[in-house]
A and B are shown apart, each in its own frame.
Chain A
Amino acid sequence: MAPAPELRRRLALAVLLLAALALPPVLAALGQGYYVGFAARVLIMAMAALSLDLVMGLGGMVSFGHAAFLGIGAYVVGIGSWHVFEGVPLPFGLAGSENALVVWPLAMLAAGLAALGIGAVSLRTTGIHFIMITLAFAQMLFYLAGGLKTYGGDDGITLYSRSSLGGLNLSDPFTFYYLCLGLLAAVLAAFLRLADSRFGMVLKGVRDNERRMRALGFPTYRYKLAAFTLSGAVCGLAGALLANASEFAGPAYMGWQRSGELLVMVVLGGMGSLVGAVLGAAALLILEEALAGLTQHWQLLLGALLLLLALSARRGLWGWLGGGGRHG
């Protein structure tokens, strides 16, 4: 039998999933169909936050540049679609593509490779320097993206249609929402299993005491780099979905404020629990939306809330909801 906190956690997870499944019809019934699209974006940002929690919560690597991977994923979708729309071939005579089965894995690959490169350099540093160097790399990519004049420069790419995926119509808000939900659930399930695997255990060991793990003979650098690369790839998938959701890809997705937002989501939800990242993303975005509807000075309220949260040192939403602290 599962111990009580574990049971409670599973129950909470099941309730969350059911609520997510029921959301679109309920919103439609309330005449708030617009919010189905909003909910899909929440799921997408949750996936990005989840990818950050893998390196930050489990591996103790505070990345202040994860938005770069989000942006790369978005750009792959945007560039593929741009070439289809303009009818111009890519270098090496490759045609553009809007096929999700082609561009989404490519988005993951590109973001993963970028993460591999950035990680290989950044992971030689720790602490504050790691935070700053990931920020520096993300800023470089942000400005480089702004120089892609063919693809809109600072203005980015406006997509004229969403990716195509078999017989599914991704422009339909419901279909798109359930697709995002399915992908998020799959990533979450995979990450939860990973956290309990040997790989996850080593990562957590590195987070708590890297020197000890190294003394035990683990190649900690390689473990960290593998986690960072995987995280980048998943964030790239989130970026691909984000480009579809907003039908836009541009440097705006790679700015440091966006990276900061992802950090806030993870901390808000409860670092290291993975589920918490999802909750944190939902909480932050819904809070923004709700406060913005309430007052035009919503940033004041949200800022005060974040400050209080940081000062109070709570374990985050998932700790509160699931009754436990860090997962594992």
Chain B
Amino acid sequence: MILQLVIEQGLNGLQFGVTLFLMAAGLTLVFGVMDVIHLSHGSFYMMGAFLTASLGSRFDSYLIGLALAIPAVALIGMAVEWIAIRRLYQRQHLDQVLATFGLIMIFNELVRMVWGSQPIFLSPPAALAGTVEVLPGIPYPLFRLAILAAGLAVAVLLAVMIRRTRLGMRLRAGASDRAMAGALGVDIDRLFTIVFGLGAGLAALAGGMAGTVLSVQVGMGESILILAFVVVVIGGIGSIKGALVGAILVGLVDTLARTALPVALRSAMAASQADSVAASLSSTSVYLLMVLVLAWRPKGLYGART
């Protein structure tokens, strides 16, 4: 019974972790390569979910919806970079916070104007409904496994891209020394636009998949944004590997705390009180993790920059 619970909760933690990774991967690239604090990254997550829902119902297929939403949001991301973010590279972090705070408001309101304030409920494709036995006697929803697999596949693809391709080489050059990369002939402007679009696309993928587990609603991006920032800082700004390790770590710690704390506290107090305290402590655990990691390694687990 206990083993079953541990395995199931472990999978839940991993699944949450890969969603965080997809968000954090884009964020850490924008942060590390472009040195921009991008608060509106959550908006791409939200738009990915809304477009998946809309296009999915239009074409009567969730997967087509998702497949169309990702490039659409990537294009929106590139447009945003071209119009606004580009002007913020040489500026203080504070100006970036202000501008992207404004962008959040704009995107939230635009989405509200188009889709309304009520949540939309997305269902996973029928082919992925139902459960599979991951181990004898341990059924697990197939769709959640699919999310997990998709996230890990993207992580592998990203790693290959960064190590093996020209774009990846430029990215690494840009991340470690922007001025030098520019001097060596890397078209920094174009590189940044591509990075931004890539990040937006990954966020859209995360949003489109999370929309089926949560619900598609205005403001959904903000709740995951802050956690994604935590992941980025834990992993080390600019490091994809750090983002993956950080995301899995955060996902597992969060799920573990959410499962274990109520049980531990219930012996000491009434159910509703115990659950309330447990919820607050487990939400805190992730931030505590970040503070501890920073105390140990001020630049994060795999961080190169300050």
Name A residues whose Cβ lies closer than 8 Å to a Cβ of B. Answer: 56, 62, 64, 121, 124-129, 131-133, 135-137, 139-140, 143-149, 153-154, 256-257, 260, 263-264, 267-268, 271, 297, 299-300, 302-311, 313
Given contacts A307-B84, A310-B95, contact A137 B226 (CB under 8 A): no
Q: How far is the CB of B96 from chain A (nearest CB, A)?
A: 8
If A129-B294, A136-B230, A306-B98 are given as contacts, then 7 extra A-B residue pairs at C-beta distance below 8 Å, sorted by A number, are A131-B37, A133-B294, A136-B291, A137-B287, A144-B280, A299-B109, A310-B88
Closest B-chain residue to A311, C-beta based?
Answer: B87
Q: How far is the CB of A263 from chain B (nearest CB, A)?
A: 6
Name 21 A/B residue pairs within 8 A (Cβ), A-sorted: A128-B31, A136-B290, A139-B226, A139-B283, A140-B287, A143-B280, A143-B284, A143-B287, A147-B276, A257-B222, A263-B101, A264-B98, A267-B94, A267-B95, A303-B102, A303-B109, A309-B102, A310-B91, A310-B95, A311-B87, A311-B99
Residues of B within 8 A of A139 (CB): 226, 283-284, 287
Q: How far is the CB of A253 from chain B (nearest CB, A)?
A: 16
Q: How far is the CA of A281 from the CA of B85 in the complex (A)?
A: 25
Residues of B within 8 A of A307 (CB): 84, 99, 102-103, 106
A300 touches B276 (CB 8 A): no
Q: How far is the CB of B254 from chain A (nearest CB, A)?
A: 12
Residues of B within 8 A of A135 (CB): 226, 229
A310 touches B288 (CB 8 A): no
Set A136, A256, A300: member contacting B110, Cβ < 8 A: A300
- If over half of B's interface residues share one DSSP class (helix, strand or loop), that class is named, otherwise mixed; here it is helix
Given contacts A136-B291, A137-B287, contact A260 B109 (CB under 8 A): no
Residues of B within 8 A of A127 (CB): 93, 306
Q: How far is the CB of B57 from chain A (nearest CB, A)?
A: 25
Q: How far is the CB of B301 from chain A (nearest CB, A)?
A: 13
Set A124, A147, A263: member contacting B279, Cβ < 8 A: A147
Is B240 interfacial (CB 8 A cutoff)?
no
A149 touches B276 (CB 8 A): yes
Q: How far is the CA of A271 from the CA of B276 in the complex (A)?
A: 40
A131 touches B280 (CB 8 A): no
B298 touches A303 (CB 8 A): no
Closest B-chain residue to A308, C-beta based?
Answer: B102
Given contacts A62-B94, A133-B294, A146-B279, contact A306 B37 (CB under 8 A): no
A264 touches B101 (CB 8 A): yes
Is B272 interfacial (CB 8 A cutoff)?
yes
Q: How far is the CA of A145 from the CA of B279 in the complex (A)?
A: 11
Q: How far is the CB of A125 from chain B (nearest CB, A)?
A: 6
A306 touches B279 (CB 8 A): no
Residues of B within 8 A of A260 (CB): 39, 97, 101
Closest A-chain residue to B303, C-beta based?
Answer: A129
Is B277 interfacial (CB 8 A cutoff)?
yes
Of A139, A145, A303, A308, most buried by chain B (CB within 10 Å of CB) is: A303
Closest A-chain residue to B232, C-beta based?
Answer: A132
B11-62, CB < 8 A from A = 31, 37, 39
Closest A-chain residue to B295, C-beta based?
Answer: A121
Closest 6 CB pairs of A and B: A147-B280, A303-B105, A306-B102, A310-B99, A307-B102, A303-B106
A271 touches B101 (CB 8 A): no
Q: How far is the CB of B267 from chain A (nearest CB, A)?
A: 16
Residues of A within 8 A of B294 (CB): 125, 129, 133
A149 touches B102 (CB 8 A): no
Residues of B within 8 A of A309 (CB): 98, 102
Residues of B within 8 A of A125 (CB): 294, 298
Residues of A within 8 A of B37 (CB): 128, 131
Closest A-chain residue to B233, C-beta based?
Answer: A132
A147 touches B277 (CB 8 A): yes
Q: How far is the CA of A267 from the CA of B95 in the complex (A)?
A: 8
Q: How far is the CB of A72 from chain B (nearest CB, A)?
A: 15
Is B183 interfacial (CB 8 A cutoff)?
no
Residues of B within 8 A of A133 (CB): 233, 290-291, 294
B109 touches A256 (CB 8 A): no
Residues of A within 8 A of B287 (CB): 136-137, 139-140, 143
Q: What is the 8 Å Cβ interface bit string for chain B, positions 261-293, against chain A (1 contact, 0 not)?
A: 000000000001100110111011001101100
Is B113 interfacial (CB 8 A cutoff)?
yes
